Structure 1
Amino acid sequence: MKTREKHTGMLLAAAALATAFTCTAFTVSAAEEQEMRTVETDKGEVEIPVNPEKIVSDYYLGEFLAVDVKPVIASPYSLSNKFLEEYIDGIQAMNVTSAETSLEMIVAEQPDLIVTITEADYEKYSAIAPTVYIEDGKRSDEELFLYIADLVGKEDEAQAYVDDFNTRVMDAKEEIQGIVGDQTVSIVEVWPQQIYTMGSHFARGGSILYDMWDLKAPEKVQEEMVDGDTAYEVVSLEALPEYTGDFILYGVLADTDSSFVEDSQLWNNLDAVKNGKVLSYEQVSFMHRDPITLNAQLDIFLDFFRGFED
C-alpha cells in the first residue's frame, strides 16, 4: 500500500474551518438538479451527480487530468507539479490565505462535486456540494486512479491508461535490469539540514524502480523501505554511505542550501558521485504519484539508465 504525503501548509486548517462559515451561508449546489448515483466512499455512501461538471479537489489533480477531466479549482500544491503544466490552463488555484477565503472561493463556483483528502474539512465541504473524502494511503496508486476515474464515469479510459503505462514499464524491464545488473539504486533527498532516504512507498518513482523493475536498493533501504513498510528515514551525513547505492536519484527541496551535502568530502567520495551515476530530479514534481507524473518519471528513468548502456 502506498502512502501519499500530506502537505499541511497547502491544506485547510481544521480549527479555522470550524469558525469560517455557517452552513446557511452556502449556495445550493447545482448537483440538486442533476441525475444522481450512489457511490461508496471512505465516509460511507454518498450521492453524487452521474456526470459532474464542476469539480473541486484540494489534493488530487493528475488523476482527473489523465482522463481529460479538468477541475475548476485545485490546490496550489497540485498545480505546482511541473509534469502537469500543459494540462492546467484555466484551473483556478485554491485561495489558501485562510479557511474563509478558500470556502468563499468554492461557494462562488457552485461545484457539483468536491473531492478531498482532508477529513477535517468533510462536513464543511459537504454543506456546499456532494463530497467524496479519500483516505490518505488506503489505496495503491492504480486503485486510487481507477476510483477517482469512476467518480466521473471514466473508468474505461483510466483502465486503458493503466494498461498502457504497465506495458511501457514492463517492456523496458529486461533492458533496464540488463543495464543495472547487480548494482543498487537509491533515492536521496535534501531538505534544510536534513537528508531523507526512501524506497518504494514514498513517491519519487520508487514503485517503478523497485516494485515493477525489481531493481535492488542498498541493504538497509531494501529491508526497511522496500520489503518493509517504512516510508522514509532521516539519516545523518555520516550514515549516508549505508543508504546510497551505485546509482543515486537526488532531489533538493526548493530554496534549500544543499552545500552541507554536496560540498562534503563524504558525498564526493561516494561511488555513484565519482562515477557520474547521479540523477538530479525536480523535487516538487517527484513528490507526486499521479498517472501523468508516473509516466513522466518513467521517461526520465529510461533516458538516465540508457545512458549507461554498453
Structure 2
Amino acid sequence: MKKLLIPILFLLILLMSACNNDETNGTANENPKESTTITYNSEEGPIEVPADPKRVVVVSTYAGNVAALGVNLVGVDAWSKSNPQFDKYFADVEEVSEDNLEKIIELDPDLIIGLSTAKNLDKLKEIAPTVTFTYGKVDYLTQHLEIGKLLNKEKEAQEWIDDFKKRAQTAGEEIKTKIGDDATVSVIENFDKQLYVFGDNWGRGTEIIYQEMKLAMPEKVKEMALKDGFYALSLEVLPEYAGDYIIFSKAGTQDNSFQETDVYKNIPAVKEDRVFEAVAEEFYFNDPISLDYQLAFFKENFLNSK
C-alpha cells in the first residue's frame, strides 16, 4: 500500500507545481493595468488626481492653461467666459462659480482647479479632487508647467514654454531695433473708475514685455508697481508713470472719459500716437492662448509704430 501511495503523492506534487508555474508565468506575461490616477505634489501636499481627466472645472484663472493642453473643460469662471480669445474653446462650456456648488455638482467633474483664495474649498474637495495655486507664487511659465504636471501633460507644457520663450525673445530684439534699447513702455488699465499701472507679472502682456522682451520700464513704475504687481494712481500723476510707449488694456464697459482730458492728451506718448489700445478681456490672463495673442499684438503694433 505504501508503495502505491508514493507514486500518487509524487504525481500530485508535480501537478501542483505545474499549476503554480502556470499562474506565475501568466502573471508575469500579462501587461499590468495602467493606473487611472497619478499623484500630484500640490501646495497642500500630495493628492491623487485622474491620470487622464475628462471633465475639468476651473473656478478661477487657469482655464486657458487647461484648454491650451487639450484637456476637456466642462465649467469655467465668468472672467474666462468673457475673453473673446477663448470663445472657440469655451463655446459649449458652462459658466461656474465657487459660490454655486449645485451647478458644479451637476457638471460631475473629475478634477477641479482654482486659486488658493477660492471660496468653499472644503466643499469643492468633496465633489472631486481639487487643486489650487497661489497666484504669483511661481513665475508664469513655471505655473503652466505645474498645470501640465497636474494634467499629466508635462512634456507638452514644456515644449510650448521652450518655443514661446524663443519667439518672444526674438520679437523683443526686433522691437528694440525698431524703438531703441532705451525706450520705455508702460501698461495701464482703467477699472471701476480707477487707473492702474502694472509691473512685470500681472497679466496684461507684462510678462512678455518686461520678462521676455526685456523692454524698459519707467523708473516710477519700477518704484511703485514692481513689488506688488500693480499700483493704483490718479489721473493727475499718470504722466509721471507714462513711458515712451503705452499699452492701454481698455474695457469698453468702463468709464474711459479720462482720455478726453488735457492731462491725458498732453502725455508725449499720446501726442505722438504711441498708445496701443488692447481689449482688456483679452489681456487679463497669462496662459498660452492669451500669451500667443498678446505676442502677436505687440509685434504688430510696435513694429508698425512711428
Q: Give the TM-score of the pair, scaled to structure 2.
A: 0.83
CA displacement at 1:279 relative to structure 2:
0.3
2-structure distance, mates of 1:275, 1:192: 28
Are the counterparts in 2 of residues 268 and 274 from structure 1 also a CA contact under 8 Å?
yes
* Distance change >3 Å, CA 258–CA 153, structure 1 → 2: same
Are the counterparts in 1 of residues 189 and 249 from structure 2 also a CA contact under 8 Å?
yes
2:300 maps to which of 299, 303, 306 = 303
2:108 maps to which of 107, 110, 117 = 110
SS in 2 for 1:72: strand
* Distance change >3 Å, CA 91–CA 192, structure 1 → 2: closer
1:247 maps to which of 226, 245, 248 = 245
Alignment-derived partner of residue 91 in structure 2: 89
CA displacement at 1:253 relative to structure 2:
3.4
Alignment-derived partner of residue 151 in structure 2: 152
1-structure distance, mates of 2:174, 2:79: 35
Q: Deviations over 1:144-200 (max 9, x none)?
A: 111111222111111111111111112222211111212211112122332111121
Query: Which structure's CA Rg is the greater one?
Result: 2
2-structure distance, mates of 1:144, 1:158: 10
Between 182-191 and 238-247, the greater mean CA deviation after superposition: 182-191
CA displacement at 1:51 relative to structure 2:
1.6
Alignment-derived partner of residue 142 in structure 1: 141
2-structure distance, mates of 1:141, 1:220: 24
CA displacement at 1:263 relative to structure 2:
1.4
Alignment-derived partner of residue 48 in structure 1: 49
Alignment-derived partner of residue 167 in structure 1: 166
Q: Deviations over 1:245-297 (max 9, x none)?
A: 111111233422211x1111111111111111110111122111111101100
CA displacement at 1:119 relative to structure 2:
4.6
Relative contact order (C-alpha < 8 Å, sep 6+): which is higher?
1
Q: Give the TM-score of the pair, scaled to structure 1.
A: 0.82
Are the counterparts in 1 of residues 183 and 216 from structure 2 also a CA contact under 8 Å?
yes
2-structure distance, mates of 1:111, 1:229: 37
Alignment-derived partner of residue 202 in structure 2: 202
2-structure distance, mates of 1:237, 1:155: 44
Alignment-derived partner of residue 284 in structure 1: 281
* Distance change >3 Å, CA 108–CA 194, structure 1 → 2: closer
1:231 maps to which of 229, 232, 235 = 229
Aligned-residue RMSD, C-alpha: 1.7
2:260 maps to which of 247, 260, 263 = 263
Alignment-derived partner of residue 11 in structure 1: none
Fraction of identical pairs, as percent: 34
2-structure distance, mates of 1:83, 1:274: 30
SS in 2 for 1:39: strand
Q: Deviations over 1:89-143 (max 9, x none)?
A: 321111x4x83xx211221222211112145422101111111122222221111
2-structure distance, mates of 1:253, 1:308: 22
Large movers: runs of 4+ above 3 Å: none
Letter in 2 for 1:178: T
Aligned length: 269
Are the counterparts in 2 of residues 54 and 112 from structure 1 also a CA contact under 8 Å?
yes
Letter in 1 for 2:89: Y
2:65 maps to which of 53, 63, 66 = 63
Are the counterparts in 2 of residues 205 and 294 from structure 1 also a CA contact under 8 Å?
yes
SS in 2 for 1:127: helix
2-structure distance, mates of 1:103, 1:257: 33
Between 249-258 and 70-79, the greater mean CA deviation after superposition: 249-258
Are the counterparts in 2 of residues 252 and 283 from structure 1 also a CA contact under 8 Å?
yes
Structure 1 stretches of 5 or more lacking a match? 1-33
Alignment-derived partner of residue 5 in structure 1: none
Between 188-197 and 212-221, the greater mean CA deviation after superposition: 188-197
